[in-house]
């Protein structure tokens, strides 16, 4: 590793589809920083060994994606509040003295994206529905509570997982959390101001999302954490109905900004040029 060149990366399995290397390279070039950000395909059973190797190799840190977010939380010496509440981490920082600090920037990233693309005033003191009960859903619930949502209805195909998620997050939020079965979608949607898809349904290569937006009020908004394809069937449905809709590309960009600043020592900007750059990559 060259002297003075900071190196970071993204760990997941698979990782080839990740936009993170392209995103960070855009910022490195834009800010004129001599640094490198590399994708690292790491199987679940090799995670801790690889982390120790990266520390020894002089990496400043790594972003963490599926399936390692809970393992990243467990391996850290110190954790931030968002990681503690979600029980998962998407950022590991290797401190000079040898400790590993973990953060979860998904909540901040989703909060910034929703505020920018949907508008916090549209959902404050209203009802929201979150589809899913995994790590992304945890971040979504915490975000919605931060934005002042009055009630969050958590729908999952496995009702027990929705119940467990609501119970685990209840001590950390002011909003009322209501776990519901997937079959209760139509009833849950009738007075909803925002629908958030926090599942992989509709993602390129995944099963389609079997949700129709017809039951949503005409003033509702839809946010799909999926960004590949850029316009999922859920987003298409919403826009055909004239509903405000956005994909998860904004969240991806905003959650990456604090990681970049931590890795490379400069604060990047989330700009239309960056979005266009990433959209072009997805289209190609």
Task: State yes or no: pLDDT of 54 exceeds 50.
Answer: yes
Quick one: how far is CA 151 from the chain centroid?
Answer: 21
User: Could you tell me which of 9, 1, 25 has the C-alpha nearest to residue 68?
Assistant: 9
Per-residue tokens: 186: 């139509």
Considering the four listed CATH numbers 1.10.3720.10, 3.40.50.720, 3.30.70.3420, 3.40.50.880, the one that applies to the domain covering 107-249 is 3.40.50.720
Q: Which of 69, 126, 170, 236 is catalytic?
A: 69
166-181 average pLDDT score: 97
pLDDT value for 98: 87
- Tell me: the pLDDT tens digits for 225-274? 999 999 999 999 999 999 999 999 999 999 999 999 999 999 999 999 99
Task: State yes or no: pLDDT of 33 exceeds 70.
Answer: yes
List beta partners, residue 47. Answer: none
pLDDT value for 3: 52
List beta partners, residue 12. Answer: 41
> How far is 56 from 121, CA to CA, in rounded Å?
47
pLDDT value for 76: 92
Domain ranges, ordered by start, for the chain: 6-104, 107-249
CATH 3.40.50.10860, applies to 6-104? yes
Mean pLDDT for all residues in the chain: 94
Is 85 part of the annotated catalytic residue set? Answer: no
Task: State yes or no: pLDDT of 163 exceeds 80.
Answer: yes
> How far is 222 from 210, CA to CA, in rounded Å?
15
Task: State yes or no: pLDDT of 206 exceeds 70.
Answer: yes
pLDDT value for 32: 97
Q: Would 6-104 and 107-249 be classified into the same CATH topology? A: yes
pLDDT value for 204: 84
Question: How would residue 196 be classed by pLDDT, with cut points 50, 70 and 90?
Answer: very high
Model's pTM, two decimal places? 0.93
pLDDT value for 1: 45
108-115 average pLDDT score: 97
> How far is 255 from 105, CA to CA, in rounded Å?
5
> How far is 82 from 88, CA to CA, in rounded Å?
8
Task: State yes or no: pLDDT of 148 exceeds 70.
Answer: yes
148-167 average pLDDT score: 97
List of long-range contacts for 32-35, beta carbons under 8 Å, 24+ apart: 33/6, 33/264, 33/265, 33/266, 34/2, 34/4, 34/5, 34/6, 35/5, 35/6, 35/7, 35/8, 35/263, 35/264
Question: How would residue 284 be classed by pLDDT, with cut points 50, 70 and 90?
Answer: confident
Task: State yes or no: pLDDT of 2 exceeds 50.
Answer: no
- Tell me: the pLDDT tens digits for 67-98? 898 899 999 999 999 999 988 899 999 998 88
Return left, alpha or beta for 175; rule: phi > 0 is left, psi -120 to 50 is alpha, else beta: beta
pLDDT value for 70: 87
Question: How would residue 212 be classed by pLDDT, with cut points 50, 70 and 90?
Answer: very high
């Amino acid at each position: 590793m060259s002297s003075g060149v900071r190196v970071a990366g993204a760990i997941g399995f698979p990782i080839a589809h990740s936009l993170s290397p392209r995103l960070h390279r855009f910022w490195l070039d834009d800010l004129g920083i001599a640094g490198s950000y590399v994708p690292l395909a790491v199987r679940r059973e090799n995670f801790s060994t690889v982390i120790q190797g990266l520390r020894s190799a002089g990496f400043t840190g790594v972003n963490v994606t599926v399936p390692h977010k809970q393992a990243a939380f467990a391996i850290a010496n110190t954790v931030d509040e968002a990681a503690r509440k979600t029980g998962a981490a998407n950022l590991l920082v290797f401190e000079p003295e040898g400790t590993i600090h973990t953060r979860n920037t998904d909540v901040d990233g989703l909060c910034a994206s929703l505020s920018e693309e949907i508008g916090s005033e549209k959902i404050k003191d209203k009802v929201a529905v979150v589809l899913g009960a995994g790590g992304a859903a945890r971040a979504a619930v915490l975000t919605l509570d931060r934005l002042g949502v009055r009630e969050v209805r958590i729908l999952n195909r496995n009702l027990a997982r929705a119940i467990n998620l609501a119970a685990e997050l209840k001590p950390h939020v002011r909003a009322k959390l209501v776990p519901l079965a997937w079959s209760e979608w139509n009833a849950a949607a009738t007075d909803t101001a925002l629908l958030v898809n926090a599942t992989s349904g509709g993602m390129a290569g995944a099963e389609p999302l079997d949700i129709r937006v017809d039951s949503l009020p005409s003033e509702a908004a839809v946010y799909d954490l999926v960004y590949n394809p850029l316009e999922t069937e859920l987003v298409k449905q919403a826009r055909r109905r004239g509903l405000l809709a956005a994909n998860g590309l904004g969240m991806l960009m905003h959650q990456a900004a604090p990681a970049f600043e931590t890795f490379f020592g400069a604060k990047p900007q989330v700009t239309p040029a960056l979005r266009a750059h990433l959209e072009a990559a997805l289209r190609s």
